[in-house]
Amino acid sequence: MLNDTQTEPTTLPTQRGAQLVTVNEVPATLDQTNFPVLGKGAKDFESVTEKISGLVLRKGVTKGWVVGFGIAFMLLMLFLYAVTVLFVDGIGIWGINVPVAWGFDIVNFVWWIGIGHAGTLISAILLLLRQDWRTSINRFAEAMTLFAVACAGMFPILHLGRPQLFYWLLPYYPNTMALLPQFRSPLLWDVFAVSTYGTVSLLFWFVGLIPDLASLRDRATTRGKQMIYGALSLGWRGSAIHWKRYTTIYMILAGLSTPLVLSVHTVVSFDFAVSQIPGWHATIFPPYFVAGAIFSGFAMVLTLGIPLRKYYGLEDYITPRHLNNMAKVMLATGLIVVYGYSQEAFMGWYSGAEYEKYMIWNRMTGPYAPAYWALIFCNGVVPQLLWMRKFRTHTVWLWCISIVVNVGMWLERYVIIAISLHRDFVPSAWGYYNPTFFDWATYIGTMGLFLTLFFLFIRFLPVIAVSEVRELVHIEHAKHGHH
């Protein structure tokens, strides 16, 4: 970082020798160089450890946490209610019916799975790309990934009708029923993709936590905490050999996670694209879905990160640099998604195929047109504000934009799934899809599940990777050179 040399400006005589130019003359318009990755409060190892582990080891809970957790828990109870009725009465309580046999269940599955992708991208890809700004946000983004995958997994399993038989989705041996899943179906690939994704994400998250759990063990003052954190830290002593092995396994897990960022949502997009339904059968789907996933994931990281930063006073750790960079990733992936919409619309017309043309026309002017245009507004128009730095670093604006993007990405899946299905080839088979109370209750209920887990996470585990931030403090100091 150029501004790190501020203590001792390097001077560069120009080639013509006319004037001296210092490196500090980098213009204010260059974002990257403006914001330090850590704030002034994160000045040494002690202050970092004290601040972050203090959030976990303090006694009792704050009033804000109780209110937040209470709301989340009530929503979780709504989920419990919706699922209980579902088990008693069956899938008929949902609004799905032929022709729209896939409704909220799959919309929400894709929405949640997509949200998880930011966590994996931040923890794995940004690590491999040597991006120092990943360090403060990776821990809670990874937690978000895990909880989002848990929520996503609910929907296909609940939709099975007999969820207790979910293991039939796996090819298992001995194959006593002579019943194997259809290997050509992307729905089966989903089972592999999502379960692998969940497993690797959990491992990655836990491995990253080990040194921090050991710090909590060492700092804990009660016997109970010492025992729990002690057991979880797997005997970590912070020796050189521990660190060597830790670094190796961490890089291996990053390498394993990287293809998962692409593969999971690619397979999810195949669920639709390999069919023949106009609006589903589009070759652009894989990259467009992956970009959409990262887009919505970063929106969710901001939705969670901005309040977290404010209420726990983490401004020195989640700095304007993080907000700015995340906003840029959101802008870039959002533009890819908009490119996808443009290709769907253009090719719908260009194909000259009757059903393709009708599909795109029906999206724009049919009974679901408001959903389509709301989607364009949320994902196509509003994120363009992020071209301006003012919006990228203003927490309130950025938070509002992130909410709009979350809504937009949900609408995108709704538009793709419901509109494409409700009018396909034969007009006599057309229909209309209306979600019921239980559709909404299940959806909002999973938000309760997600938030409940998240509130428990911020209470019992360090939301920021202490050991990694300490390493970053060390690197930053080395760059300054005089500390």
Partner 1 sequence: MARNFNTIVNDENVQPKISGLQKKAIAVAVVGVALLVVGAISDSDQFYRSYLLGYIYWVIVSIGMFSLYALHNVVSGAWGFTIRRFLEAGVRTLPLMLVLFVPIIFGMHTLYEWTHTDVVAKDHILHQKAPYLNETFFIIRLVFYFVLWSGLGFYLMKLNRQIEENRDPSKLGRIQKLSAVTLLLIILSGTFAAVDWMMSLEPHWFSTIYGILFVSGGALSGLAVTIWLLVKFRGNRPLSDFLVPRIFHDMGTLLFTLTMFWAYISFSQFIIIWSGNVAEETPWYAVRMANEWGTIGWGLVFLHFALPWAILLSKKAKRNPQILSAVAIWMLAMRFMDLYWLIAPAHLRSTFSFHWLDIAAPLAVGGIWMAYYCQQLQGKTLMTVWDPRLQDAWHRIGNADAADSAYFGDSPTVKEGIHG
Binding site for partner 1 (CB under 8 A): 1-2, 8, 10, 12-15, 19, 21, 23, 25-31, 33, 130, 184, 262, 266, 270, 273-276, 281-287, 332, 335, 339-340, 342-344, 347, 350-353, 387
Spacing of C-alpha 428 from chain mean position = 41
CB of 122 to partner 1, least distance (A): 18
Return the H-helix or E-strand segment holding 12. strand 11-13
Kindly report the backbone phi and psi dihedral angles of residue 100, in degrees, each rounded to the nearest multiple of 5, phi listed first.
-90, 80
DSSP H stretches of helix in 35-137: 45-57, 63-89, 104-120, 126-128
Q: If DSSP codes are grouped into helix, strand and coil, which group holds residue 282? A: coil
CB nearer to partner 1: pick between 262 and 449: 262
Side-chain half-sphere CA neighbours of 284 within 13 A? 18
CB 150 within 8 A of CB 453: yes
Shortest Å, Cβ 409 to partner 1: 19
Q: How far is the CB of 84 from partner 1 (least distance, A)?
A: 38
For the CB of residue 357, give the shortest distance to partner 1 in the complex, in Å.
8
CB-nearer residue toward partner 1: 93 or 332: 332
CB of 294 to partner 1, least distance (A): 15
First to last CA, the chain: 17
Least Å distance, CB 446 to partner 1, is 29
SS3 for 462?
A: coil
As to burial, measured by CB atoms within 10 angstroms (0-12 exposed, 13-18 middle, 19+ buried), residue 86 is buried
Nearer to partner 1, 142 or 356 (CB): 356
Cα–Cα distance measured from residue 436 to residue 226, given in angstroms and rounded to the nearest whole number:
48
Whole-number minimum distance, CB 125 to partner 1, in Å?
A: 11
Of 204 and 285, CB closest to partner 1 = 285
* Nearest CB to partner 1, comparing residues 219 and 328: 328
Instruction: Choose between 200 and 335: whose C-beta lies nearer to partner 1.
Output: 335
Nearer to partner 1 (CB atom), residue 9 or residue 431: 9
In the complex, minimum distance from the CB of residue 2 to partner 1, in angstroms, rounded to a whole number: 5
**Contact (Cβ atoms closer than 8 angstroms) between residue 226 and residue 215:** no
| Structure tokens belonging to residue 71 | 């709301």
Tokens of 159: 């939709």
Q: Which residues contact 223 (CB under 8 A, 6 or more apart)?
A: none
Residue carrying structure tokens 């930011």: 118
Closest to partner 1 by CB, 102 or 270:
270
Question: Looking at the chain, how many residues does it have?
Answer: 483
Closest CA to 122 of 277, 318, 372, 377: 318
Which residue in this structure is represented by tokens 């109870």?
77
Question: Which of 21, 121, 95, 184 is closest to 333 using CA atoms?
Answer: 121
In whole angstroms, the minimum distance from the beta carbon of 259 to partner 1 comes to 9
Closest to partner 1 by CB, 249 vs 403, is 249
Can you read off the two tokens belonging to residue 27?
Answer: 């213009």
Between 284 and 371, CB nearer to partner 1: 284
**Alpha carbons 102 and 156: distance in angstroms, whole number:** 10
Nearer to partner 1, 25 or 89 (CB): 25
Residues 6+ positions from 384 with CB-CB distance below 8 Å: 331
Closer residue to partner 1 in complex, CB, 192/339: 339
Distance in Å, CB of 419 to partner 1, minimum: 17
Min separation Cβ 298 and partner 1, Å: 17
User: Can you read off the two tokens belonging to residue 185?
Assistant: 């179906």
User: Minimal distance in Å, beta carbon 477 to partner 1?
Assistant: 14
Residue among 288, 305, 290 at smallest CA distance from 402: 305
CB 104, CB 477: distance < 8 Å: no
3-state SS, residue 434: coil
